[in-house]
Structure 1
């Protein structure tokens, strides 16, 4: 059974506890990375993005444009840095563009 929290806990603390106890962090990271991709890349890139999936610490991005894929491949390290900065922790270590 989970540790009981006192009545002085904030909602944020309770949610963090629930996520930790139920091992939901990897799923939350996947959702957060998708949102970060959409916010950082803007409408131009998002219109050519088919799918964004986080597996472990690797971000797989499926694009419909080979030209855009080639252009983004030159800035993979910058994409990793921008997403990790947006999430305020190191979640993504590598980006694979398909």
Structure 2
């Protein structure tokens, strides 16, 4: 059982401690990346996105449109910057569009 840090603690702080102590950050990052992809790139691109997967520092995105894949490949660096800004951490280093 965890130690009490004081009489009163903020719920957000307690949850952050729980996530850190149980090593749940990587799993939550994988879910956060999917949400960030859809919010940053919008509904038009989300329609053609079939899968978003984070493996270490590489984001794999499966697209159903080859034309869209080619267009997005020109802006890889900008997409990585926008996603990392949305996630508020430098999580993605490489983007692979399939």
Shorter-chain TM range is over 0.9
The runs of 5 or more residues in structure 1 that have no matched partner are: none
CA offsets, 1:2-57, max 9 Å, x none?
Answer: 44332322111111111111100001111111001000111110000000011111
Matches within 5 A, 1:1-98: 2-98=2-98
Kindly report structure 1 stretches of 4+ aligned residues shifted beyond 4 Å.
none
Question: How many residues are matched?
Answer: 98
Question: How far apart, in 2, do the equivalents of 1:77 and 1:37 lie?
Answer: 14
The runs of 5 or more residues in structure 2 that have no matched partner are: none
Q: TM-score, normalised by structure 2?
A: 0.94
Question: How far apart, in 2, do the equivalents of 1:3 and 1:83 lie?
Answer: 36
Question: How far apart, in 2, do the equivalents of 1:66 and 1:36 lie?
Answer: 22
Q: Secondary structure at the match of 2:8?
A: coil
Q: Secondary structure at the match of 1:26?
A: helix
| RMSD (Å), alpha carbons | 1.1
Q: Secondary structure at the match of 1:90?
A: coil
Q: Secondary structure at the match of 1:8?
A: coil
Q: TM-score, normalised by structure 1?
A: 0.94
Displacement after TM superposition at 1:63 (Å): 0.3
